[in-house]
């Protein structure tokens, strides 16, 4: 029974991430991002990403009880969704933060795009022929 419940929860999480990835928000619009988080699609994706990048490398995470590791991501997802919903009810806060959000997220997205472009160029070995040392000719007898 426990495995079936875990399988259903995993399927629900993956399907919500698939829907969320299928219709990403306008990242530069804070309201759009908050709606994405508040509807329940964005929160699990953010929590899963945070867990995979942050706590999986923390030794204490592997020492926690299984039930804590199971329910903590769900609890944090709910708290994140409720927080986004509460923030959506305060348009004056969103209006104040929006210009700062646009600058910060624009910088982050530009940096990410530059890293993707850099890796593509690196994989294509652009300029590799200029970095290779020419073969030295052998002296004639």
Give first-to-last CA distance, the chain, whole Å: 83
pLDDT of residue 17: 57
Which pLDDT value is given to residue 98?
Answer: 95
Residue among 40, 36, 24, 51 at smallest CA distance from 77: 40
Quick one: what percent of the chain has pLDDT higher than 70? Answer: 73
Q: Digits of tens for pLDDT over the chain (141 positions)?
A: 565 555 555 555 555 554 545 567 888 899 999 999 998 788 888 888 888 777 877 888 888 888 888 898 899 999 999 999 999 999 999 999 999 999 999 998 888 888 888 888 877 777 666 666 656 666 665
pLDDT tens, 70-84?
Answer: 898 899 999 999 999
pLDDT at 57: 77
Q: Please report whether residue 62 resides in a domain.
A: yes
| Nearest-angstrom CA–CA distance, 10 and 2 | 12
Residue at 68 is within a domain: yes
- Its domain, for residue 46, covers 2-90
B/e letters for 1-29, b = 16+ CB within 10 Å, e = fewer, are eeeeeeeeeeeebeebbeebeeeebeeee
- Output the pLDDT for position 116: 82
Is 7 a domain residue?
Answer: yes
Q: Is position 13 within any domain? A: yes
User: What integer pLDDT is reported at residue 25 of this predicted model?
Assistant: 83
Question: In the prediction, which pLDDT does 112 show?
Answer: 84
Domain count, the chain: 1
Q: Is residue 74 in some structural domain? A: yes
Q: Is residue 105 part of a domain?
A: no
């Amino acid at each position: 029974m426990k495995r079936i419940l875990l399988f259903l929860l995993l399927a629900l999480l993956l399907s919500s991430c698939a829907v969320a990835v299928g219709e990403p928000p306008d990242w530069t619009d804070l309201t759009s991002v908050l709606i994405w988080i508040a509807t329940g699609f964005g929160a699990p994706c953010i929590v899963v990403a945070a867990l995979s990048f942050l706590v999986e490398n923390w030794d204490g995470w592997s020492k926690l009880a299984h039930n804590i590791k199971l329910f903590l991501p769900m609890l944090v997802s709910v708290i994140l969704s409720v927080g986004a919903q509460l923030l959506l009810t305060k348009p004056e806060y969103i209006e104040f933060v929006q210009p700062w959000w646009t600058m910060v997220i624009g910088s982050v997205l530009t940096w990410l795009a530059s890293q993707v472009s850099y890796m593509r160029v690196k994989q294509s070995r652009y300029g590799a022929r200029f970095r290779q040392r020419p073969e030295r000719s052998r002296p004639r007898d």
